[in-house]
Amino acid sequence: MPLYKTLEVNSSTVVYVWKIQESEDELSSNIMLTDKSTNRLKGMKSEMHRKGFLSIRHLMAKAGYLDTDMYYDKMGKPHLKDGNKISITHSNHFTGIIVSKDTEVGIDIEKQREKILRIAYKFTPIEEYKTIANTEALIRKLTVVWGCKESLYKIYEQEGLSFINHIIINNFDLMDGITTGEIVYSGIRTKYDITFIEFEEFTCVYALKK
């Protein structure tokens, strides 16, 4: 089974990334699903989505959890019954989870695509990136920014939270692999440490609440 990466963030937080290379039948083996998860899986029309759903259960097993150990709240945010924190992500043939014993966490994996140049104005002040002349570097940087904001949104997950108006990502160098971010919402400011890595033209971002 292709566990692609395991990243020990700190003594209580671990990231697991899976590269989907198996058939759906192979991914279904040795995985026990609740009736609710089984029905959810059956309702997915896309084979890639079903594979992503199943591979995340394999990642959970790597972290010591069963499907029965996780539930979703009304906003769609996953939670673990033992009180530990979890966030999950799926993009094409990569899936990932981050699990922490004591810190709110969020994770996002995104494929680096030119499309992001057309939609960037929706989630970040695009004028801040006018000095980046290299298109490839601009795509990479905007993908990190999107992943950062997506990760923070997954942690905070409040109705009405806006990527462009409420989530701030501080400037960073692509070579650094780290940055910080803030959510300013309803008069409350929360801060986050963010790490990002790149592999096979994908970007993985994970965030921890300070």
Q: Do 23 and 90 sit in the same domain of this protein?
A: yes
pLDDT band at residue 158, thresholds of 50, 70 and 90?
confident
The last residue of one of the domains, among 102, 121, 136, is 102
Q: Do 42 and 67 sit in the same domain of this protein?
A: yes
Give mean pLDDT, residues 87-112: 97
Nearest to 195 by CA among 165, 153, 151: 151
pLDDT band at residue 138, thresholds of 50, 70 and 90?
very high
**Domains held by the chain: number:** 2
The predicted pLDDT at position 128 comes to 85
The CB density around residue 45, as the number of other CB atoms within 10 Å, is 6
Start-to-end Cα distance in the chain: 34
Q: Do 98 and 152 sit in the same domain of this protein?
A: no
Q: Do 133 and 195 sit in the same domain of this protein?
A: yes
Two structure tokens written together for 170? 């501080």
Q: Do 189 and 136 sit in the same domain of this protein?
A: yes
| CATH number reported for the structural domain that contains residue 18 in this entry | 3.90.470.20
The predicted pLDDT at position 1 comes to 60
Residues 6-20 pLDDT 10s:
999 999 999 999 999
pTM of the model as a whole: 0.96
Nearest 5°: the CA angle 119, 171, 197 is 75
Two structure tokens written together for 121? 């104005």
**Domain range for residue 173?**
108-209
Q: What are phi and psi of 177, to 5 degrees?
A: 75, 5
CA separation for the pair 68, 180 (Å, rounded) = 34
Residues 37-54 pLDDT 10s:
999 999 999 999 999 999
